[in-house]
Amino acid sequence: MISKFWNTYSDAIIYALVVIGVVLLLLVFTKLLYRWLVKKAAKKHPNEKPTTIRLVKRVLNTLWVILGLAALSFLFISEDKYAVATKNFELIVYVGFVLVFTIIGASMVETLFSRIIKRTIASDGDPTSYKFLRYLSVFGVYFFGAILATLAFPALRGVAQTALGGAGILAVVIGIASQEALANIIGGIFIISFKPFRVGNVIKITDTLVGTVTDITLRHTVIRNYQNKMIVIPNAIINKEKVTNYDLEEKKICQWIEVGISYNSDIDLAKHIMKEECENHPNIFDNRSNQDLKNGVPLVIVRVTNLGDSSVTIRAWAWAWDYASAFVMKCELYERIKKRFDAEGVEIPFPHRTLVFKRDQLNQFTNSQPTD
C-alpha cells in the first residue's frame, strides 16, 4: 500500500520537499544576511535605525513565500495547463524582483538623502534643496519601477513603452496636470529654485497663517503655526499668495504700535507714554546706526499718522530682534500703554455717530415716543 502510494506520488512529494527546502534555505539566508547587514550598519552608523534593511528583509521573506506557493501550485494543475502556469510563474518572479529592487533603490535613496540632510543641519546649512530632491528622487525610482512592472503585462506593455518615450512622458504629464498635481510639483520646483523661503523660516501667507516651515515636498509645504499645529498647504496655492518671510536676509523686524486717542486728550503726553513704554521693554532692539546716534535720532520714533473721524492715530516704530520677540513685545506694549493711558487720563475713544434731525423729523420722532 505504502509502496504503491510512493510509486504514484513520489515525484510530487520530492518536488514539494525540494520547493519547501529551497524556500526555507532562502528564508534562513535572508535572516543571516539581515543580521550581517545590521551589524555592519551599526558600526558605520551607530545612531541610525536599520529601517531600510528591516524593510528589505520583510519584502524578501514575503517574496520567497509567494514564489514557493506559486511553485507548489503546479502540483494541482493538469499538464495541458503547464505552459500558462509557467508564464504566470515567470510573471510573478519578474514583478516580485522588480518590486524588491524598486523598494531597495527607493530606500537607499531615502537613507542617502537623510544622511546628507543630517550633516547639512549639523553644519548649520540649508537642507531645503536636499529635502525636496529626496522626494523627487524617491518618486522617480517608484515611477521607473512601476513602468518596468507594467512591461510584464502584454495588455499594458504598449502603454509602458510609450511612457518611456518622449511622447509618453508628455502624455503622462498632461494627465497629471488635469488633476492639479503637476501644478503642485512645478510650484515645489519654483520654491526650491527661487527660494522665497526655506525650511526653518518663519513666514506669513495670510493675515492669520503665520508659522515655521518644517518641510517642502513635491506636492505641498508643511508649516507649524504658533498653536503647534501642522498646516499642509499645496505648493500651487502658495505660489499664488503673497508670502512674507521674516527670516529672509535679516531677522530683525520693525513692529508698529498704533493707538487712537480722543481729540480732547493730550497728544504730547500720549506720545511720551508710548515712547517710554517702548524704550523700557526688554525686547526692544536698537537699530540705529552710528550716524543716527550722532544726529540724536531717538531709539523709538513716535508720530501722529492720521486724524480719523473719532480719534487721532499715534504710531510708534519699535524694533525687535525677530518675529517672535516682536509679537510678544506688541502684545505686552498694548497692555502697558492702555494701563498708562487710564492712569494718566488719556482717552481711547470708541466709534460713535452724531445724528442730525430736521425740525419736522424731530417732531415726528418725539411724538412717536410712548408717554407714561
In a domain, residue 362? The reply is no
What's the CA gap between 110 and 130, in Å, rounded? 11
How much is the pLDDT for 3?
65
Question: Residue 337 — very low, low, confident or very high, per pLDDT cuts 50/70/90?
Answer: very high
Residue 285: count other Cβ atoms within 10 Å of its Cβ: 18
More confident residue, 116 or 47: 116
- What mean pLDDT comes out for the span 224-251? 85
303 vs 82, more confident: 303
Residue 358 lies in a domain: no
Say which residue, 19 or 285, is predicted with more confidence: 285
What is residue 248's predicted lDDT score, i.e. its pLDDT? 75
Per-chain mean pLDDT for the chain: 80
Domain identity same for 29 and 149: yes
Enumerate long-range contacts of 52-58, CB under 8 Å, 24 or more apart. Answer: 52/104, 52/107, 52/108, 52/110, 52/111, 55/103, 55/107, 56/100, 56/103, 56/104, 56/107, 57/30, 57/31, 57/33
Lowest mean pLDDT of 157-166, 188-197, 258-267, 355-364, name the range. Answer: 157-166
Instruction: Identify whether 45 is part of a domain.
Output: yes
Q: Please report the pLDDT score of residue 329 as a whole number.
A: 95
178: pLDDT strictly greater than 60: no
- Is residue 291 pLDDT above 70, yes or no? yes
Give domain status of residue 265, yes or no. yes
pLDDT at 301 over 90: yes
pLDDT at site 300:
94
Question: What's the domain range around 174?
Answer: 2-189
Question: Domain check: are 44 and 92 in the same one?
Answer: yes
| 133 in any annotated domain | yes
312 compared with 104, residue with greater pLDDT: 312
pLDDT at 88 over 80: no
Q: Grade residue 167 by pLDDT with cuts at 50, 70 and 90.
A: very low
- Are both 104 and 200 inside the same structural domain? no
d(CA 145, CA 136): 14
152 & 219 share domain = no
For residue 215, what is the enclosing H or E element?
strand 210-216
pLDDT in tens, 191-224: 777 778 888 888 888 777 889 998 888 788 899 9
The answer to whether residue 349 is domain-embedded is: no
Same-domain check for residues 211 and 169: no
Looking at the fold, whether 263 and 205 belong to one and the same domain comes out as no
Average pLDDT for residues 76-96, to the nearest whole number? 70
Whether 334 is covered by a domain: the verdict is: yes
| pLDDT score for 331 | 94
Q: Cβ neighbours of residue 55 under 8 Å, at least 6 residues apart?
A: 103, 107
Question: Do the bridges between strand 202-204 and strand 244-245 make them parallel or antiparallel, or are there none, so unpaired?
Answer: antiparallel
**Residue closest to 213 by CA, chosen among 193, 191, 187:** 191
The CATH number linked to 195 is 2.30.30.60
Q: Domain check: are 208 and 273 in the same one?
A: no
Name residues whose C-beta falls within 8 Å of residue 252's C-beta, 6 or more positions apart in sequence. Answer: 285, 287, 319, 320, 321, 322
Verify that 12 and 41 share a domain, yes or no: yes
Verify that 272 and 181 share a domain, yes or no.
no
d(CA 214, CA 231): 10
Range 157-180 average pLDDT? 54
**Beta strand residue intervals within 39-189, DSSP E:** none
- Whether residues 325 and 290 share a domain: the answer is yes
Average pLDDT estimate for 79-100 = 72
Number of domains in the chain: 3
pLDDT-based confidence at residue 244 (cuts at 50, 70, 90): confident
Q: Is the confidence at residue 38, as pLDDT, over 90?
A: no
Identify whether residues 72 and 170 lie together within a single domain.
Answer: yes
Largest alpha-carbon pair distance within the chain?
Answer: 127
CATH of the domain at 287: 3.30.70.100
**Same domain flag for 66 and 184:** yes
Dist CA 254 CA 287 (whole Å)? 9
Q: How confident is the model at residue 90 (pLDDT cuts 50, 70, 90)?
A: confident
Q: Is 352 part of any domain?
A: no
Check residue 7 and give its pLDDT. 61
Is the pLDDT at 171 greater than 70? The verdict is: no
pLDDT at 285 > cutoff 90: yes
